Structure 1
Amino acid sequence: MKRSRRKARREQQEWPEDAVVEATEPAEQDDYEAPDAAGWKTSTAGLAGFARLARVATWALIASGPLIGVMALLGSSAPAQSAPKSAPAVQSSASTGPAGFAQLFVGAYLEAGEGSEKNLAPYYSGSIALTHPAGTRSALRTQVMQAHEVSSGYWSVTVAVNVAAKSKKGGYSDAGVQYFRVAVQSTGSGDATGYTAVSLPAQVAAPTSLKPGDLGYPTSRGGGASDPASDTAASFLKAYVAGQGELDRYTSPGVRISPVVPTPYASIKVTGVQDDSSDSASTKVPGDGERRRLLVSVDATDADGNSFPLTYALGLTSRAGRWEVSSLDDAPATAATSKPSSDPKAQAPSAPAAPTTPSGSASPAGS
């Protein structure tokens, strides 16, 4: 009996343990499977996101295909379209370098002599042996008269030189203006451009002189003291280069011309006036808006009493019964641009006016 009771009690004690095991096994199984289930779900979502991104990227690539092709085509052709055409190292319009080199070479050539041939090495690499004493001749002034490009990078430059010649007594005399032609070759380009003379200078005749055409001022008024236009011009020039008075008193409204500063002369004397009018005896000021051109010759005297001749080309316009200066011209007018003297109403085309600076000053003509 007791044995039966002990057995029953033992079975009751063991049952809960078995029950717990059995009851917990599903729970443990659930706990074990939960991470797998969660991990699988996460991987599925990630793969789904990547798939969507892949699809979007694929469609974007397909859609942009034509655009990429166009960009590639433009990229491959752009350099050919935008690349500048090749140009010679030195163009004919840029003769400053060869001209300056030729001037220096001619100056050194004239002053060189026996024992100083090395002074020509920077300009000419050929062999040279001079037999006259150095300093026999000297270049007082040099000026390029002509420069043209014979072929690409190969120049012919003619230089005018005011030569001083040394006498046997040691003094120098003026040997006049002489002309030398130099063949200059350029190498490189840009800042690396270099020059060399291919031969020694050749002394040549002076370039052919041109006969100037007739100027467009057929009427002479002498000193012009009694002519209102000449009087306006004289007063204007006194203010312009001698500081006597204000320029605004003698210029048309809106015309801004600044005086020469510092003032170079103490006084101005008009020595001759020519204009494009048809009657030298007429002193009447016409109605508003009439124009007249004047070529004014003056003697300008400085503070030391030295007198210098100058010539100015002026344009005048009538207004309110008086003449006013409307332009300080760059150059005297020629007969080809002058108005016909038989037609007093004809308006003469203005000669190129002096360029004005931002402050309104104008470049002097003939000063």
Structure 2
Amino acid sequence: MKRQRKAAKKHVIETEAWEEEAEPQETAADEPDETGWKTSTAQMAGLSRLVRVGVWALVVSGPALGMLAFLSSSGPAQGVAQPVVAATPASPVGPAAVAELFVAAYLQAGQGTERDLAPYYSGSVALSVKPGTRTATQSTVIASREVQPGYWSITVAANVTAHDDKGKSKRLGVQYFRVGIQAVGPAGAGGTEQGATVAGYAATSLPAQVAAPTALKPGDLAYGTDRGSTSADPSVETARGFLAAYLTGTAELDRYTSPGTRLQPISPAPYAAVKVTGIQDDLSGSGQQKVPADGTVLHQLVQVEATDQAGSPVALSYALTLKSRAGRWEVASVDDAPAVRASSLPSAAPPTTTPSPDAATASPSPSPSNS
């Protein structure tokens, strides 16, 4: 753009210089040229002025033309499909938190303290139990399901304790309560409103106590060989030394880990001593006194009894993966969970979308309270 303006200015200067050097004498009538046209000095001067005007117009309009070209080149190409923004899935976090608080308040409330439930439930409540007869010492959400857009079924597990008039407490165990929670606001808060910034929640009824979920039978572990606790097997020695260093901090872990494995001991060390009480692994044969070829992988499940700083024993289990190298076993990882046989894992059932009877017939609360 600057180069165009400089060229235009240079052309104007050259044109003016040419006029000053080659200005002819005016005559009353000039002779016609070979084509039969008459060209007067006045006509030549007008032509020069016209050229100057055109050049200056080019100079002035240069920036505007350049900006127009830039905007046209940076605009979206015609016919190119614009990306479609995916809808944000509704989050159960907000409704679940409100349901957990509601269940805790419900268990604690009683006759005369029904107003404690107002932040969660705006319906009419009349309780006959004495306040504080039951309390939830612990609670957590174990299931959440959106039965309708913005309407959630939340199941809360609570560790309930009963208290009598004499101040004695009795643990009732874990009980389960299902709550219907209506959510308004953005999808991130469990609602359906686009562009909303304020969330609100309301329970649609008092909690319903329900049965405990079906307990799963643990799958078969993949450790088929029992090495015992006193075996002199090299893999057992590696596990024993590694866990002692890991839990007590009395030795460096590098002595027992594979090259490149990055593991840190627990700090500060929670235990003063560690004793192995049992080891199972997935290698066949008893008394593996000889380390297999390099690269052989071994999975272990190690039971230990760790003694804390006060002298109390604590039972722990560790799933380890070992690899052989240069005639010795080395710890490659502390696994996230014990290995199970693939055939023993339950098959994934297709998700159901049929709402439960109580959720399908529940009516949303007309005035959810703001959080």
Please confirm whether the aligned pair reaches a TM-score higher than 0.5, indicating the same fold.
yes
| Structure 1 portions without partners, runs of 5+ | 1-40, 339-367
Equivalence map 1:281-296=2 (5 Å): 281-296=287-302
Q: Equivalent residue for 2:28?
A: none
Q: Equivalent residue for 2:138?
A: 141
Shift of residue 228, structure 1, vs aligned partner: 1.1
The yes-or-no answer on 1:81 pairing with 2:82 is yes
- Residue type of the partner of 2:181? V
The yes-or-no answer on 1:158 pairing with 2:161 is no
Matched residue SS, 1:232: helix
| Structure 2 portions without partners, runs of 5+ | 1-43, 189-196, 345-371
Shift of residue 67, structure 1, vs aligned partner: 9.2
**Pair 1:64–1:216, CA change in 2 (3 A):** same
Q: Which has the larger radius of gyration?
A: 1
Shift of residue 50, structure 1, vs aligned partner: 3.1
- Residue type of the partner of 2:54? A
- Residue type of the partner of 1:50? V
Matched residue SS, 1:299: strand
| Per-residue Cα deviation, 1:4-33 (whole angstroms, up to 9, x for no partner) | xxxxxxxxxxxxxxxxxxxxxxxxxxxxxx
> Conserved in 1, the CA contact under 8 Å of 2:228 and 2:278?
yes
Please give the alpha-carbon distance, in whole angstroms, between the structure 1 residues aligned to 2:343 and 2:266.
Answer: 28
Equivalence map 1:176-325=2 (5 Å): 176-189=173-186, 191-325=197-331
Please give the alpha-carbon distance, in whole angstroms, between the structure 2 residues aligned to 1:117 and 1:42.
Answer: 101
The size of the alignment, in residue pairs, is: 293
Matched residue SS, 1:186: strand
Shift of residue 163, structure 1, vs aligned partner: 0.1
> Conserved in 2, the CA contact under 8 Å of 1:224 and 1:231?
no
**Pair 1:322–1:87, CA change in 2 (3 A):** closer
Shift of residue 130, structure 1, vs aligned partner: 0.8
Q: Among the aligned pairs, what percent are the same residue?
A: 51
Shift of residue 255, structure 1, vs aligned partner: 0.9
Normalised by the size of structure 2, how large is the TM-score? 0.71
> Conserved in 1, the CA contact under 8 Å of 2:234 and 2:288?
no
Equivalence map 1:108-127=2 (5 Å): 108-127=105-124
**Pair 1:100–1:223, CA change in 2 (3 A):** same
**Pair 1:126–1:51, CA change in 2 (3 A):** same
**Pair 1:188–1:55, CA change in 2 (3 A):** same
Please give the alpha-carbon distance, in whole angstroms, between the structure 2 residues aligned to 1:59 and 1:251.
Answer: 71
The yes-or-no answer on 1:49 pairing with 2:52 is yes
**Pair 1:50–1:218, CA change in 2 (3 A):** same
- Residue type of the partner of 2:259? P
The yes-or-no answer on 1:102 pairing with 2:103 is no
Bigger helix share: 1
Aligned Cα RMSD in Å? 3.3
| Per-residue Cα deviation, 1:71-115 (whole angstroms, up to 9, x for no partner) | 77759x99x934624446xx1xx3221211111110001000111
